[in-house]
Amino acid sequence: MGQRLALHQILMTILGSSNVYFQPPATVKMNYPCIVYRRSDIDTAFADDNPYITNKRYQVTVIDANPDSLIPDKVGKLPKCVFDRHFKADNLNHDVYQLYY
């Protein structure tokens, strides 16, 4: 199983449903609560001017109508995960994290 697919499984386990979306197009109708994630960066370490180690960073957004949802806390406990910001849009709460996986 690829790394991204393993991350997808972890996020589905945290959410407790299959409402996990990777880079969804605008035409996808999402069900809430959900987790949306996308690749946002690749951190590269070099040795002798050549790429030695690469770490993919994902932006993970928990979207839930419940402002007291426990889902963001569970995502925030993942290794190499940091909270980025919170915002509300369309009466839904968005908690955004940056996660290296």
Confidence of residue 100 (pLDDT cuts 50, 70, 90): very high
What average pLDDT does range 43-68 have in this prediction? 94
Which pLDDT score is estimated for 1?
56
CB 3 within 8 A of CB 97: no
CB 32 within 8 A of CB 19: yes
Which residues have a Cβ under 8 Å from the Cβ of 48 and sit 6 or more positions away?
none
Which residues, in sequence order, are bridge partners of residue 87? 94
Please give the average per-residue pLDDT across 64-81, as a whole number.
97
Taking residues 63-77, what's their average pLDDT? 97
Question: Which residue is it, tokens 């996808």?
Answer: 28
Domains and their CATH numbers in the chain? 3-100 (3.30.2000)
pLDDT tens, 1-13? 579 999 999 999 9
Based on DSSP, count helices (H) and strands (E) in the chain, helices before strands.
2, 5
The string of pLDDT tens digits covering residues 8-28 is 999 999 999 999 999 999 999
